[in-house]
DNA sequence: AGCATTTCTTAACCCAAGTCAATTTTTATG
DNA sequence: CATAAAAATTGACTTGGGTTAAGAAATGCT
């Protein structure tokens, strides 16, 4: 447990064995019980994460309504919107399963940058990769209907349907639970899905 | 013209006078006529931009349908989704006004990083800022209705309504032109807007 | 200026999502 | 295991966006 983060970094940036050792040695891994709130509205976000095991839901309360922004599962980074900023978070992060996460802070990062300047490059590239992936998610959301989004999840993250309650999935897809219920019914009827 | 980019960088990162000079001296500024396509489907994206003057529309053709992803105007960076990646772009970038842009390439960046290692830090921070802003845009889009999005534009980027044809604004808001037309009519009727 | 093209608006109709309310199913908990 | 609570479904009704088609308004062009 823990070298997943090296595997992940290596996918996008060439990491020397030396630097891999350093990253691995300085990575903080923590366990969180299901239900743990990692970040809540009004907090200042001081940590970013990487999911080794489990599932973290990102959401916000908008006019009293709980709206899921994302589900983070194995091998995915979690970068809070206000991470490293002074502004108060509107975002919540909740472990919806027992989870094992690497935990990172701006202070820790800066320390690493000073000690190992090559690490700055790794982080810049990773942020660029995350930006690119995130842009793709946005495009995907913007150019598809709720039905297409549901089918996309079914195809690309089928595990989510087992791990996540439907009413949370609904808000993730931009729907009310009742509508997701009807959408699913419609699919079964029309396409024998 | 050109020191806007320094002003922009300085908003988010502390730039030494020396580094500011260097950035300014090595910044490439180009003029583009209205209608210029900076990036098109199938291209490999080799340039990122910063708008000094004008307007660049980002869009893609999805099932034959033109869908606007963003409008980039003065003081805004343009980071193509596939910038620096090997993958073929699905995205288009078009100057919808005569525009003055700074032009940047991965090669140029890497050169700068080698010569001026502090510049890597500037770029990392800028990418983090862009990531954060972009996440906020996504949240905004995901948690609002087309009407709310229209009112948001009206409030926060009123210039767009003068600069951009409504049918392009419609797809930006996630609507068909006919629906935007009705939406606007509805607003006038109900809220005397 | 005059004509063609593009953009914008309007109307009628359909369908999917929202709303509200009630019920069923599933899950948690003593 | 029984009961309460939470989650999911269903139904009736409203509303707003998509579709198609037509016409009006604005813009471009020679």
Which residue on chain A is closest to B137 by alpha carbon? A138
Predicted pLDDT of residue B167: 97
Mutate to test the interface with A, among B39, B66, B89, B128 (most CBs of A within 10 A): B128
Q: Is the minimum distance from the CB of B146 to strand C below 7 Å?
A: no
**Nearest CA among B54, B57, B80 for reference residue B69:** B57
Quick one: average pLDDT of A135-145?
Answer: 96
Tell whether B112 and B134 lie within a shared domain. yes
Q: Is residue A172 part of a domain?
A: no
Tell whether B157 and B109 lie within a shared domain. no
Q: What sign results for the dihedral spanned by CA atoms A38, A42, A45, A50? A: positive
**Nearest CA among B31, B44, B43, B127 for reference residue B79:** B127
Domain count, chain B: 2
Tell whether B78 and B132 lie within a shared domain. yes
Tell whether B56 and B126 lie within a shared domain. yes
Tell whether B90 and B133 lie within a shared domain. yes
Tell whether B39 and B96 lie within a shared domain. yes
Tell whether B10 and B104 lie within a shared domain. yes
The 10s digit of each residue's pLDDT in B29-59 is: 999 999 999 999 999 999 999 999 999 999 9
CATH number for B71:
2.60.120.10
Domain boundary pick from B103, B123, B143: B143
Q: Give the CA-trace dihedral at B45, B119, A75, A109, to 10 degrees.
A: -170
What is the Cα–Cα distance from A43 to B62, expressed in whole angstroms? 39
Predicted pLDDT of residue A115: 94
Tell whether B120 and B161 lie within a shared domain. no
When CB atoms are compared, the residue of B81, B134, B142 closest to A141 is: B142
Q: Is residue A184 part of a domain?
A: no
Instruction: Report which DSSP code applies to A45.
Output: P
Q: Is residue A15 part of a domain?
A: yes
Quick one: average pLDDT of A158-180?
Answer: 97
Percentage of chain A exceeding pLDDT 90: 93
Chain B CB contacts of A93 below 8 Å: none
The 10s digit of each residue's pLDDT in B132-187 is: 999 999 999 999 999 999 999 999 999 999 999 999 999 999 999 999 999 999 99
CA distances from A37 to A2, A41, A57, A108 (A): 22, 10, 10, 22
Rounded to the nearest angstrom, the minimum Cα separation between A141 and chain B is 8
- Residue B66 pairs with which residues in a beta bridge? B61
Does residue A32 contact residue A76 with C-beta atoms inside 8 Å?
Answer: no
- Interface residues of chain B, partner chain A, Cβ below 8 Å: 60, 62, 67, 69, 79, 81-85, 113, 117, 120-121, 123-124, 127-128, 130-132, 134-139, 141-143, 174
When CB atoms are compared, the residue of A127, A137, A142 closest to B174 is: A142
Q: Is residue A134 part of a domain?
A: yes
Positions in chain D where some atom is under 7 Å from a protein CB: 7-12, 16-21
Tell whether B26 and B95 lie within a shared domain. yes
Contact A121 B141 (CB under 8 A): no
Strand order in the sheet with A65-72: A37-39, A91-95, A56-62, A65-72
How many Cβ atoms sit within 10 Å of the Cβ of residue B178? 10
Tell whether B153 and B111 lie within a shared domain. no
Q: Is residue A14 part of a domain?
A: yes
Predicted pLDDT of residue B1: 74
Mean confidence (pLDDT) of chain A:
95
Confidence grade of residue A45 (pLDDT, cut at 50, 70, 90): very high
Tell whether B46 and B76 lie within a shared domain. yes
Quick one: average pLDDT of B124-131?
Answer: 94
Predicted pLDDT of residue B33: 92
The 10s digit of each residue's pLDDT in A9-20 is: 999 998 899 999
Quick one: average pLDDT of A75-102?
Answer: 96
Q: Residue B118: which domain range? A: 3-143
Tell whether B192 and B103 lie within a shared domain. no
The 10s digit of each residue's pLDDT in B55-113 is: 999 999 998 899 999 999 999 999 999 999 999 999 999 999 999 999 999 999 999 99
């Amino acid at each position: 447990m823990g070298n997943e983060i090296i595997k992940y970094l290596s996918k996008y940036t060439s990491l020397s064995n030396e630097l891999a050792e350093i990253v691995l040695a300085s990575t903080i891994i923590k366990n969180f019980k299901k239900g743990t709130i990692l970040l809540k509205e009004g907090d200042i976000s001081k940590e970013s994460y990487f999911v080794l095991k489990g599932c973290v839901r990102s959401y916000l309360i908008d006019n009293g309504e709980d709206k899921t922004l994302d589900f983070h599962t194995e091998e995915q980074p979690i970068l809070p919107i206000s991470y490293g900023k002074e502004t108060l978070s509107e975002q919540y992060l909740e472990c919806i399963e027992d989870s094992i996460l690497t935990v990172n802070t701006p202070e820790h990062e800066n320390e690493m940058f000073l000690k190992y300047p090559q690490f700055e490059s790794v982080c810049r590239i990773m942020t660029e990769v995350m930006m690119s992936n995130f842009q793709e998610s946005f495009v995907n959301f913007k150019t598809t209907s709720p039905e297409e989004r549901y089918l996309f999840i079914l195809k690309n993250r089928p595990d989510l349907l087992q791990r996540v309650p439907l009413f949370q999935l609904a808000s993730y897809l931009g729907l009310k639970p009742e509508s997701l219920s009807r959408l699913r019914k419609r699919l079964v009827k029309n396409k024998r899905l």
